[in-house]
Structure 1
Amino acid sequence: MQRILRLSLCLFALALASLPVHADEARDGVADVRHVELGDLRMHVEIHGEGEPVLLLHGGFGSMEVWRPLIAVLSPHFRVIAPDLRAHGRTNDGDRPFDPELLAEDQRALLDALDVPRAHVVGWSMSGGLALELALRHPARVERLVMIAALAHHAGLQEAFREHLLAATADTWPAGTVRAWRALAPDPDRWELVFGKLRDFVASGPRRGADDYPRVRAPTLVILGDQDTVVKPEHTREQAAAIPHARLLACEDAGHGVPLEKPDQVNTAILRFLTGTDGD
Structure 2
Amino acid sequence: MQLNLEIRGTGFPILCLHGHPGSSRTLSVFTDRLSQNYQTLAPDLRGYGKSPTRKEFEMQDHLNDLEELLDRHQVKKCILLGWSLGGILALELALRSPQRFTRLILVASAARPRSNHPPVTWQDLAYTAISGVINGCKPGWQWNIDTFGKRSLFRYLLCQHTPLAYQYLAAEGAIAYLQTCKTAERALQRALSAGYNRLKELEQISPPCLVLAGESDRHITAASSQETAGHLQHCQWYCYANTAHLFPWEIPQQVLNDIEDWLQEG
TM-score bracket for this pair, using the shorter chain length:
0.7 to 0.9
Change (3 A) 1:208 1:94: farther
Higher helix share: 2
2:221 aligns with one of 229, 232, 239: 232
Other-structure match for 1:264: 253
Given the alignment of the two structures, is residue 158 of structure 1 paired with residue 141 of structure 2, yes or no?
no
Q: Per the alignment, in what secondary structure is the counterpart of residue 43 of structure 1? A: coil
Instruction: Normalising by structure 1, report the TM-score.
Output: 0.71
Kept in 2, the 8 Å contact 1:152–1:208? The answer is: yes
Other-structure match for 2:166: none
Other-structure match for 2:62: 103
1:220 aligns with one of 209, 212, 227: 209
| Root-mean-square deviation over aligned CA pairs | 2.7
* Gapped regions of structure 1 (runs ≥ 5): 1-40
How far apart in 1 are the matches of 2:227 and 2:177? 36
Other-structure match for 1:244: 233
How far apart in 1 are the matches of 2:35 and 2:195? 30
Given the alignment of the two structures, is residue 137 of structure 1 paired with residue 96 of structure 2, yes or no?
yes
Other-structure match for 1:127: 86
Kept in 2, the 8 Å contact 1:222–1:240? The answer is: yes
Identity %: 27
Query: Which string of whole-angstrom CA distances, capped at 9 and with x for unpartnered residues, describes residues 224-269 of structure 1?
Result: 0011011121110011111001000111111011111111111111
Kept in 2, the 8 Å contact 1:151–1:206? The answer is: no
Kept in 2, the 8 Å contact 1:225–1:254? The answer is: yes
Note the C-alpha offset of 1:196. Answer: 4.2
* Gapped regions of structure 2 (runs ≥ 5): 133-168
Other-structure match for 2:75: 116
Given the alignment of the two structures, is residue 59 of structure 1 paired with residue 19 of structure 2, yes or no?
yes
Change (3 A) 1:206 1:48: farther
Kept in 1, the 8 Å contact 2:54–2:183? The answer is: no
Kept in 2, the 8 Å contact 1:126–1:202? The answer is: no
How far apart in 2 are the matches of 1:84 and 1:150? 18
Kept in 1, the 8 Å contact 2:2–2:69? The answer is: no
Other-structure match for 2:175: 180
Q: Per the alignment, in what secondary structure is the counterpart of residue 259 of structure 1? A: helix
Other-structure match for 1:146: 105
How far apart in 2 are the matches of 1:261 and 1:128? 19
Instruction: Normalising by structure 2, report the TM-score.
Output: 0.75
Other-structure match for 1:37: none
Note the C-alpha offset of 1:195. Answer: 5.9
How far apart in 2 are the matches of 1:94 and 1:140? 33
Kept in 2, the 8 Å contact 1:54–1:79? The answer is: yes
Note the C-alpha offset of 1:199. Answer: 5.1
Note the C-alpha offset of 1:142. Answer: 0.9
Kept in 2, the 8 Å contact 1:149–1:223? The answer is: yes
How far apart in 1 are the matches of 2:246 and 2:96? 27
Other-structure match for 2:149: none
How far apart in 2 are the matches of 1:103 and 1:94? 15
Size of the aligned set, in residue pairs, is 223
Larger RCO of the pair (alpha carbons < 8 Å, separation 6+): 2
